[in-house]
Structures are given as structure tokens and as C-alpha cells.
Amino acid sequence: MRQTDRPNFLLFITDQHRADHLGCAGHPMLRTPHIDALAARGCRFTDFHVATPICQPNRASLMTGRLPSAHGLQLNGRELSHGERTFVQTLRDAGYRTGLAGKSHLQNITAVPPFWPQAGERLAQESKALFPGLYGQEVARRWDHDDAFELALPYYGFEQVALTIGHADEQSGHWRRWLRQQTPDADKLIGPDNALPTPDWALTRLRQAWRTRVPESLYPTHYIAQQSCAMLRAWAGGEQPFFLQCSFPDPHHPFTPPGRYWDMYKPDDVELPDSFDAALTDAPPPVSWLHAQRAGRAAHFKPGHGTFAVTQQEAREALALNYGSIGCIDDAIGHVMAELAHLGLADNTVVLFTSDHGDLLGDRGLMFKGGLHYAGLTRVPFIWADPQASVAPAQRETSALAQTIDIAATVLARAGVQPAHGMQGQSLLPLMSGQADALRAGLLIEEEGQRLDFNMGQRIRMRTWRSSAHRLTLYDGQPWGELCDLRADPHELCNLWNDAASAGLRAQLMAELAYAMLRETNASPYPLASA
């Protein structure tokens, strides 16, 4: 079968990128012409959410089409079992060439001991319970200390990988090796200790931003685009169709947009979110605790890995640098798309764009992520641009609910390949073609963590039921929760959990959440006998 008989796929994915941080999403300041061009000839989803707003678990959900509770990578620090079947493996088995340029994060990137459980609680052989296979392949220090270390290919279905590990300008993997080949001073260019001076920046004092010495032409974003183009050139003219994932680690913090992208947007010009100083009605304890913690430690506060309260200046700087990072990514996408056209592949390549989760970036005076399910964290961009007129989307924009787990099912359906048993996502093709108004009434969003965040005395375990009209969020072991009327309160500022007039609605949504959790119980593998 010739390549032209089946579509190619090019998936662009960013890291920690809000759905509203795109020009095509109506952002008043941010310029993203290349991503906007995809939306202009494709279909953009305006109510597309993650399976979980945490890095590793949601990337595993994208790859498997399954919720974290089904594929087992429910929190950062676990690794995706080789017993799980990815849709990339399914495509490869069906004759596709497969490649990944950039971030994977399907296995751990550090060897730092977990926060939970403590060493004394941990069973000595618990880590051996994973399906047989090689794990720890993305641990950064293994790559940094051993130039011969390589992935065991195929890697979750990817037969070719140009890997980056980590964030900002301190990334490892193939990029770090490549950087060292380009310049003998590579290690003197990276990290906050080697950065260009930024004396007036509040975020640099928190070590959440620095002006990198790595030039634009050597920055990971450029490398990922370059490697993506190299794979396209290698596959052009071949008999097999391809799936290429171009995965950018930005605009995730720490913020280090290179060169001109650092000051492409000025903090003084940036508008704060409408909810930054907004009064909250019956704010959930985590939000109140985060603000109280920052107020009580203002002089010597240092943020950790999760959500924290920010000053106006910190929020403005973060937003400006976030915009600069996105601008850098948009230019890289333009470079890859130009190469796709130059090689004559554009007319038979479906292009997708999404992100693994969002960032609060000033919403309610907070930043980063973790333990909250506001739309800034759970809603991400999703664009599907199909060049074939016979299957091109009938609409350019849809507000129908959809989710990360739907991407795998949609790609396989478009490729004409049967999905694996146990996939929980649904193909979005009927919705985009106008054959369906909606695929589901609501979304189940899961989250589990290692840390004892928000002074709750236990690690975060939470579930959310989100419809187009409401959001209900439960925290394990807590007498409180969240209930928001999304139509009357789109910024989710008024918590109706304790509102007597909303008691019936709360009971109804609790039942819908319970039924959704039953419905999404893992159904794989099939039984082999009656008993």
C-alpha cells in the first residue's frame, strides 16, 4: 500500500499551555500566526480538557486513550507499564513509520526518592510489580553521565526518538549531547548560575525564570523542530505512512525563552487575569491556605513544585515570559509546517495541536498547578487540521466536550485502524463532520499526588465531574468540595458546595460522578475463562 493511500499524522504538543493562550482563542495580546493557521483550516475545540492536569499521567492517557485509573500511571513518579498498549504501537503494527522529537515523560526523569510513601512504608519489591521491560530510561543523570546510554527502541511504539528530558535550558537527553557537539562551552550556557543578568526581575529571585545564554539556534525548541524536519525528510517519498510527534517542553516553568523571545512581551504591558484580585465566595481551603502561606512568609518565600500564591509583578513577568515561550514554539511550528509543504507531504498529513495541561498563571492570584481543577489547569487547546476535503471538519470551532483520551481513538479511526480493547476515548470524527452534536454529557477528571499539599494531612486524591454547565470536585477524606455554575460564574469564583439552594444540584452531580466512575472502570483485559 502506497503512502498516499493512508493519511500521515503530525502531532504538535506543548507542555503546561493554557487553552486561552493562543491568538485563535481570542487572546488580545499573544501572537501565534502558525498555530492560528492550523485552526483556520481545521477544527478548534473550545471545551477540551485533560484526563488529569498532571504531566506524566496525562501524557500516558494521550498515548493509551485511557484514564489514569485504567493505565495505572496515576501520579508523577510512576512509569507507564510496557503492558499498556499505546496507539502509536497500534499504528506501527499497521505499517506506519513512527517518530518522536522532544519530550516523552512516560517514565521518570529523576531518581529522587518519592514523597510518598516514605522509605519505611515502601515494600522492597513494589517497584518490580511493573510489567516486564526496561524502565528508568528517561532519568536525566543516566544520559548526562553516560554518553553511550540510549533508549531501547521501539519506545512505546516510537521506532525513532530524538529525546529531550526536563525543562527550561537545563534539559538532557539527545539535545544535551547535540548541544555539546555544537559548542565546547555548552555547559557554561545553561542554568540560572550561567544566565544573563536580570536584576529587576522578581521571578529570577525565585529561580523560576532566567535569561538563558543558549542562543535561539541551539535552544531545545529549535532542536526539536530541526529533528522533526529531519524525520520528515527521511520519510518523504517512502511507501509507508507516518506518525510524528513533535513535543515541546515549553512554555512550562522555569521560564527561559531564548534571545529575542525573552523581551518579546513586556511585563508592564501584560494584563492580569480578571480573577487575580476577585473576591471568592466560600473559597475552598486550599486556595485560602496558599494565600495565607505566602502572606506569612513573604520575606523568604521560595516556591516548590506545586501551586503557589503570586504578587502582581510575579504574575506579570510569568505571563510575559510564557507568551515569549509560546511565540518561540509558534515559530518552530511554522518551520516544521514549511518543511512539510516543501516535501510535498502537506496534502496528505493530518496535523494536530494540543498540550498536556494548563497553568493558573495568575488566576485567583495563583500560579503553576496541582490540587485544583479550575479551567486554567484542565482546559487545553486542541486543533485537528485535516487536508482531505472529503473528511475535513464541517465546522471550524466546536464547544462540545472532549478530552485527551479521545485523541488516540480519533487518530486510529482516521487511519482506518481498529483500536485496542480497553481504550476509553471516543473518536471525534463524527462530531467534527457534523454527524453528532455531542459525544458525552460530561467529563471525568482524575488527580492523585505524592505530596501533603494544602496542609490537609494526606496526599491529594481528587475527582471532578465537569459538564458544559457545572463542575463538581471531591477531595478524598475532606468534608468540603467545590460546586461551580459555569454559565453564571465562568471564572469559577463562587463555590456553591454549602449553598442550601444548590443541595439538589449537588446531589445530582454527585450521582453523575459516581456513575461516571463506574462506567470508566477498567475493562481490559478480557477474561479468558468463566472462573
**How far is residue 388's CA from residue 371's CA, in Å, rounded to a whole number?**
41
The enclosing domain of 363 has a CATH number of 3.40.720.10
Residue type, 2: R
Judged against a pLDDT cut of 70, whether residue 201 lies above it is answered with yes
SS3 475: strand
Residue type, 234: A
- Which range of residues forms the domain containing residue 415? 3-111+135-519
Residue 530 inside a domain? The answer is no
Helices 33-41 and 312-342 cross at an angle (nearest 10°) of 60
Overall residue count recorded for the chain in this entry? 531
Residue type, 478: Q
Residue 448 inside a domain? The answer is yes
Residue 471 inside a domain? The answer is yes
Residue 130 inside a domain? The answer is no
Judged against a pLDDT cut of 70, whether residue 319 lies above it is answered with yes
SS3 94: coil
pLDDT tens-digit map of 250-307: 999 999 999 999 999 999 999 999 999 999 999 999 999 999 988 877 666 778 778 9
What is the count of structural domains for the chain? Answer: 1
pLDDT tens-digit map of 285-299: 999 999 998 887 766
**How far is residue 473's CA from residue 464's CA, in Å, rounded to a whole number?**
4
- pLDDT band for position 317 (50/70/90)? very high
pLDDT tens-digit map of 126-158: 555 467 889 999 999 999 999 999 999 999 999
Residue 524 inside a domain? The answer is no
- Radius of gyration over every alpha carbon of the chain, rounded to an integer in angstroms: 22
Residue of 31, 86, 99, 100 whose CA lies nearest to 330? 31
Judged against a pLDDT cut of 90, whether residue 113 lies above it is answered with no
Residue 458 inside a domain? The answer is yes
Residue 71 inside a domain? The answer is yes
**How far is residue 226's CA from residue 527's CA, in Å, rounded to a whole number?**
46
Residue 116 inside a domain? The answer is no
